[in-house]
Amino acid sequence: MTPDSDPVPADLPSLESTTLRLDGRVALVTGAGSPDGIGYATARRLRDLGAKVAIVSTTRRIHERADELSVTGFVADLTDESEVGALADAVADTLGDVEVLVNNAGLTSRASPEVLRPVAQLTYEEWRTEIDRNLTTAFLCSRAFVGGMAERGWGRIVNLAATTGPVNALPTEAAYAAAKAGVVGLTRALAMEVVADGVNVNAVAPGTIYTAASTVAELKQGLDTPMRRPGTPEEVAAAITFLCSPAASYITGQMLVVDGGNSVRESQYTR
């Protein structure tokens, strides 16, 4: 390089390539069975940004959500390696190669609540249940799609972590906290593996979010945050879809906390 040469690389993204639009991109959102959940809100937002969206959950209610959103629904147990493989083939046959993956599966529901038990009383089966549905699902789905993204030179993976584990923890939540901390570790390691292939991998860590699965205690926790309310699925979805977009081209291996500032303050206060 001569003193008069331009030091700016020639392959920097153009203004057009840093849009939020995802027109024609194939996106898969896992864990989108609840109409009031983060997965559903994310799928709706990706659809509105122009993506061809597939959603998946463990029950046939996913087809109701798919009809509501005018997207494509699939049923699969994402803790089962063979079912994840079959899902990958089915999405490719129906919509094309997945370019955007949101690993939202694993969050609890009323039908499948979080295991709350001290470590000394936690059974191995309960431990494995939390690890499998929160961490193994993200691993299996990422593994199924990241290779194709890297070969094509573009992709986005966003994993749903939580503030519990990576940022803080409560008694009786060791398994869930370990799984969500593991999601962040997986995110960062995978991001470094494919950083040269045009694939960005990030995590979003929600705090207390008001969904159909929220308990009274969780909603009270939301009222105790600096913003004096819980967050909404739409607010989390906005963060997720930004990281899915071309506009997030220079962000990878990061965890974006969406908790109304709760993890920032040093102590409780009143205003």
Q: How many residues does the chain have?
A: 271
- Which residue carries 């573009």 as its tokens? 154
Instruction: Report CA-CA distances (Å) from 186 to 12, 47, 121, 176, 201.
Output: 28, 27, 27, 15, 9
Of 28, 37, 32, 29, nearest to 206 by C-alpha is 37
- Which residue carries 């962000």 as its tokens? 251
Distance CA 266, CA 62 (A): 41
Largest CA distance in the chain: 69
- Taking residue 213's Cβ as centre, other Cβ atoms within 10 Å add up to 18
Which contiguous run of DSSP H or E holds residue 43? Answer: helix 38-48
Q: Pick the catalytic residue: 176, 210, 250, 269?
A: 176
- Taking residue 97's Cβ as centre, other Cβ atoms within 10 Å add up to 15
Of 90, 23, 107, 108, nearest to 54 by C-alpha is 90
| Catalytic residue status for 40 | no
Which residues have a catalytic role annotated?
Answer: 176
